Structure 1
Amino acid sequence: MTAPGPDVVLREYGPAVSVPLGAAAGRALAASGVLQSVTPDPAQDGHWLLRAGSHVGALRTPGGPVVRILPKTPVSRIFFLLGFSLDPERAWRDDREGTVDTGTYDDVVPALAHAVERRVDAPLRQGVLQGYREVEESSLVVRGRIRESDQIRRHFGRTPPVEIAYDAYTADTAENRILRGAVERLLRLPGVPGPVRRRLAHQRVRLADALPLVRGQELPRWQPSRLNSRYQPALRLCEAVLRGSSPEHLLPGADPLAVDGFLFDMNQLFEDFVTVALSTALKEQGLAPRPQDSHHLDTAGLVRIRPDLVVRTLDGRTPVAVVDAKYKVEKADGRLNADLYQALAYATVLGLREAHLVYAAGREPTRFHEVRGTAAGADGGGLRLYRHSVDLAREPRQLLSTLRDIAALLTRACSSA
């Protein structure tokens, strides 16, 4: 069996790279859908052309090389966006990049592994959280209460064994199972540095009394409380790891050939950041933001539209503005006119005087287009379509300031509605 070659390095939305791959590995990578394009290289037998899209991170196919996708945005900024989306209240108070500690790593998977290990280590240094959990089992001695119906059904009333149920004070809690699941997920990933891998293994030993998660089952549910407050930052990040973009695909009718790794979808991450930041700021202004507020374009209800954010009055009844986030550079060459048509459709369906597009970068911080043929509003103008730019290359404090300015503009829309 041929050993996997060296890592393949792609760049987010970068040019295609020709890579030696077996046919099965190439088909598995194409079926995974995590790259923008995966096609046989017509110029070289046994090679495939790989081009990355919006996903960044690392993945691998058995027998193939590890594919690393480097982001355009600095890794520290990516984890600031992630940390803000997970815990906006803390981020508003402390808008430094240290919201999620990525160490000195400038690649996604090493930074993620380091961040999770640091977050998990902090609460475990104070001891592993324990709690009560109901246990049902067969036993030779009576403990707790006898499950009479199970006793009769399974043993026809004979004893022992006895079907019992009792509350056990244990470390096998939902919180510890989530932490252990995230640690084990990261230990399986390619590209985790040796020192970080050893620290993750140490955390797994600490969490050994928690049962491992079962693949395919829902994550255990936990409720925020005073008792688990020290766990909460770690739990939010670990749930993001376990629910994140972790491709595992099998080709139908073929031998098991998995594509495995961890990837951030920058489209989704930017959308989450913009939505959470604007929602948090708008709530402080007495408005009711509604993320993913679904509507229909047509009267028959056949065409569904779902803006990223609909801003409503405090009672939630009246929409006053709509926002859609776009992880791309706003340009003036006509190629993004479809975004304006989309925003116009949102405003028309909701009966609004304005709609807002928020881009990851652009030529100007804010500008607007006034739509011809629309009735004049209180300000004397017609329907306006705004374009905003949130440059991810800027410092976190500047990013948050830009989002606050956009929230203030949305608040003014409410007062003039």
Structure 2
Amino acid sequence: MNSIGAPEPVVLTEVGTKEVVLALDDNQVAALRAADLVTVRRAAGGQWKLKAGRKVGAIRIGNIEIEVTPKVGVANMLFFLGYAAHPGFRPEDVAGIPTAGLWPALATSLIRHTRRAIASGPLRGYATVDDALPLVRGRIRFGDHLAGRPGIPLPIEVQYDEYSKDIPENRIMRTAVRRMLAVPRLRPADQADLTELDARLAGVTVLPPGTPPPVWHTSRLNARYDPALRLSELILQHCSADPGAGPHTIAAFVVNMEKVFEAFIGAALREALSAYPGHTETPAKDALDAGQAIRIEPDVLHIINGQPAAVFDAKYKIEPGTGKPTNPDIYQMLAYCTALNLRIGWIIYAEGTEPPTTWRIRNSGTTIGYRPLNLRQPPHQLLKDVQYFADSAMRKAAPLRHHA
């Protein structure tokens, strides 16, 4: 919860040059290093220098709060996260969320989707219950009864199905609501809305910290839950709120944008290529040499009739001066094309600063294509651009040569 008179958060920008100097105790330093949101270096006078890298998010440790804002914006970051995990995640799922502050953005979006999901009441379903009762209900668990109560007739260890709202979907949503209630900087209105949603899900089990979310499957019955569940799973995966090892409570939401970008490109290209014959591997695993000793792992490889047809690699290089292809990136793609017997390979750069380019490699017949992707544009346009990349690749797909 928020504390009255809490200091303003320290706000840094992803891969920015700004450093801040703070007085931190040993527990705060240890927690910051464990979260790995910022780099922490000792400064003069017993203070510490903090600087942002390619991870974004927010962390509160006691009365210290640090936020690293993504260059692509909070809404797009959440879209990348959601789409990478579930291509059914839609652009409108992150539309209209606040642009200032990660915690308000997460809270507002979760409130909106959860409220919509349970507008007509929480879903109910049959859940399996293990219990000890004074009478038989359902099936007797003979093994458990004999192990726990040998020679004692009552209570009886039983298992039965109960029609209730304590089902996987509601457990995921209520746990996400509880997790958000523990984070800092929530507006009073958001706290009130989350408390109301928690009350509407009363009786639903809250998952203990570290417990994997239960498995659920999209169906006609839970279709209205889908956006809320996708967002709830993101919160459970990336957001933690714990007492902490020292005297401080800790709340954190940390994501690695380089990994997020690679996963998003993989999911988006897999969807874009699904209209073509064959299948897509993200990432692909192969070898550069005939003896299979030198491994290669392209981010995306489309295969038709058992043969590679198109290869892509995603590069998240958004530091100042790094938005253009480097020789090592081109050498890497040339190695992929050579090993996979492809005439052309594609490098997709996040926030690329150069226009689309191709290089014809001397004495090889191989072409390397560079394509920048503007990550700040609306999600629907991003997906259109990825579809364009996929279509271009498939139009030009051809083997380099026949194997001997």
Change (3 A) 1:302 1:31: farther
Shift of 1:308: 1.4
Residue 309 (structure 1) aligns with: 300
Q: Give yes or no for the alignment of 1:243 onto 2:237.
A: yes
- Asked if 2 retains the 8 angstrom alpha-carbon contact of 1:18 and 1:47, the reply is no
Please, which runs of 5 or more residues in structure 1 have no aligned partner? Answer: 92-96, 375-381
- Asked if 2 retains the 8 angstrom alpha-carbon contact of 1:32 and 1:249, the reply is no
Q: Give yes or no for the alignment of 1:193 onto 2:187.
A: yes
Residue 111 (structure 2) aligns with: 117
Q: Give yes or no for the alignment of 1:351 onto 2:341.
A: yes
- Asked if 1 retains the 8 angstrom alpha-carbon contact of 2:89 and 2:230, the reply is no
Residue 388 (structure 1) aligns with: 371
- Asked if 2 retains the 8 angstrom alpha-carbon contact of 1:362 and 1:391, the reply is yes
1:234-313 → structure 2 map (5 Å cutoff): 234-244=228-238, 246=240, 255=246, 260-298=251-289, 301=292, 303-313=294-304
Residues paired across the two proteins, number: 394
User: What is the one-letter code of the residue matched to 2:333?
Assistant: A
Residue 50 (structure 2) aligns with: 50
- Give the root-mean-square deviation of aligned CA atoms: 2.8
1:329-368 → structure 2 map (5 Å cutoff): 329=318, 336-368=326-358
Change (3 A) 1:135 1:397: closer
User: What is the one-letter code of the residue matched to 2:45?
Assistant: D
User: 1:88, 1:75 → 2: CA distance?
Assistant: 19
| TM, length-normalised to structure 1 | 0.85
- Asked if 2 retains the 8 angstrom alpha-carbon contact of 1:320 and 1:413, the reply is no
Shift of 1:318: 0.8
Change (3 A) 1:5 1:23: same
Residue 140 (structure 1) aligns with: 134
User: 1:333, 1:182 → 2: CA distance?
Assistant: 36
- Asked if 1 retains the 8 angstrom alpha-carbon contact of 2:17 and 2:51, the reply is yes
Alignment match of 2:120 (pick from 103, 119, 126) = 126
Please, which runs of 5 or more residues in structure 2 have no aligned partner? Answer: none
User: What is the one-letter code of the residue matched to 2:382?
Assistant: L
Tell me whether 47-56 or 144-153 shows the greater mean CA deviation. 144-153
Residue 162 (structure 1) aligns with: 156
User: 1:188, 1:301 → 2: CA distance?
Assistant: 50
- Asked if 1 retains the 8 angstrom alpha-carbon contact of 2:15 and 2:52, the reply is yes
Shift of 1:65: 1.0
Q: After superposition, what is the alpha-carbon deviation per residue over 1:38-58, rounded to whole angstroms, capped at 9, x for unaligned?
A: 1012xx413211111122221
Shift of 1:257: 6.4
Q: Give yes or no for the alignment of 1:218 onto 2:212.
A: yes
User: 1:256, 1:291 → 2: CA distance?
Assistant: 43
Shift of 1:117: 1.4
User: 1:365, 1:399 → 2: CA distance?
Assistant: 17
Q: After superposition, what is the alpha-carbon deviation per residue over 1:250-295, rounded to whole angstroms, capped at 9, x for unaligned?
A: 7xxx857675311232222322322222211111133421111122
User: 2:372, 2:49 → 1: CA distance?
Assistant: 33
Alignment match of 1:371 (pick from 361, 364, 371) = 361
- Asked if 2 retains the 8 angstrom alpha-carbon contact of 1:187 and 1:197, the reply is yes
Q: Give yes or no for the alignment of 1:29 onto 2:18.
A: no
Q: Give yes or no for the alignment of 1:407 onto 2:390.
A: yes
Q: Report the secondary structure of 2:45's partner residue.
A: coil
Residue 377 (structure 1) aligns with: none
Residue 184 (structure 1) aligns with: 178
The sequence identity of aligned pairs, in percent, is 34
User: What is the one-letter code of the residue matched to 1:360?
Assistant: A
Residue 64 (structure 2) aligns with: 65
Shift of 1:332: 8.3
User: What is the one-letter code of the residue matched to 2:32?
Assistant: L
Shift of 1:311: 1.2
- Asked if 1 retains the 8 angstrom alpha-carbon contact of 2:171 and 2:206, the reply is yes
Q: Report the secondary structure of 2:132's partner residue.
A: strand
